[in-house]
Amino acid sequence: MWQDFKKFALKGNVMDLAVAVVIGAAFGKIVSSLVTDIITPLIGVLMGGIDFTGLVFEVGKEKVMIGNFIQSIVDFVIVSFAIFMVVRIMMKFQRKKEAVVEEGPAIDAKEALLTEIRDLLKNQKNEQ
């Protein structure tokens, strides 16, 4: 049983997932800081200092803090957009990298001619 667990835990996919979770958590902190410390204050300045967290109404003796909920929605939209932009940029670089890999090494004229002759000889051999 220990050997099976060891094979599972040290398998490439599990290690990749663990690394992705750690990097994702660190990236989440960066994006949260970006939203909290940079984007939200700039939006506040552009919107005249509007802060939704002060929106509260009472139902009986309980306070409903609708402003915190609205602020969480705004934060979510900003974080989602920031992650979307990062993923979009990464995918753009990935496509460029794949295009370079797909092209492969250039074949000179002699090699192309030899390849064509080889294919013709194979076809003749198969026809006989």
Q: Which segments of the chain have a pLDDT < 50?
A: none
Total domains in the fold of the chain = 2
Provide the residue range defining the domain that includes 8: 1-49
Shared domain for 75 and 114, answered yes or no, is yes
Shared domain for 55 and 100, answered yes or no, is yes
Query: Residue 103: its pLDDT value, please?
Result: 60
Query: Residue 12: its pLDDT value, please?
Result: 63
As a whole number of angstroms, the distance between CA 113 and CA 28 comes to: 55
The kind and range of the H/E element at 74 are helix 66-103
Task: Quick: pLDDT tens for 55-90.
Answer: 888 888 888 888 888 888 877 887 788 778 888 988
Query: Residue 4: its pLDDT value, please?
Result: 77
The residue to which tokens 């803090």 are assigned: 65
As a whole number of angstroms, the distance between CA 41 and CA 86 comes to: 21
